[in-house]
Copies of this chain bind each other. A is one copy, B any other.
């Protein structure tokens, strides 16, 4: 996969993330915020609000998943080839309460052809792991920013 002559893979990853985030109402509307984007890698945060609490008074697992899933999406879309989640699994290790700030870090484990595997670790402010997420990515047609990088000729 050749790259745009004028842009490094790091610059492409950051530019794609900025464009994604402007369109990604689901993430921005609840406060998910990108902190660091590199090729195959992303760090994002989420502050837990009252609207995210379940009937046990703890953060609904869906919001922890959403943070992990968004972080995964920014990591696997960082090459400017449209990529979607095919599957994901999550282990909930520790309850999350009101006002906690969660930080999710996505790492690329494998990328072959149209499929990729990513790990996301979600930690609280005490650096305790609250959830482990593993996501399977599938590349589809199209680019987030057409022409920014060369087309993937798969």
CB atoms of B85 and A61 under 8 A apart: yes
Interface size of A by CB at 8 A reads 54
Complex CA gap A138/B136 in Å reads 13
Complex CA gap A154/B56 in Å reads 20
User: Is A24 part of the binding interface, using a Cβ–Cβ cutoff of 8 Å?
Assistant: yes
Bitwise, A72-92 to B at CB < 8 A (1) or not (0) is: 010001000010111111111
CB atoms of A20 and B55 under 8 A apart: yes
User: Is A45 part of the binding interface, using a Cβ–Cβ cutoff of 8 Å?
Assistant: no
A5 CB → nearest B CB, Å? 26
CB atoms of A56 and B85 under 8 A apart: no
A95 CB → nearest B CB, Å? 8
Binds B, one of A6-14, A36-44, A110-118: A110-118
CB atoms of B55 and A62 under 8 A apart: no
Bitwise, A110-154 to B at CB < 8 A (1) or not (0) is: 101001010000000000010010101010000010000000000
CB atoms of B87 and A92 under 8 A apart: yes
Complex CA gap A103/B60 in Å reads 19
Complex CA gap A51/B87 in Å reads 22
A20 CB → nearest B CB, Å? 4
Give chain A's interface residues, CB within 8 Å of chain B: 19-21, 23-27, 29, 50-63, 65-67, 69-70, 73, 77, 82, 84-95, 109-110, 112, 115, 117, 129, 132, 134, 136, 138, 144
A-B contact pairs, 6 of them (CB 8 A): A55-B73, A55-B77, A61-B85, A63-B66, A91-B136, A93-B110
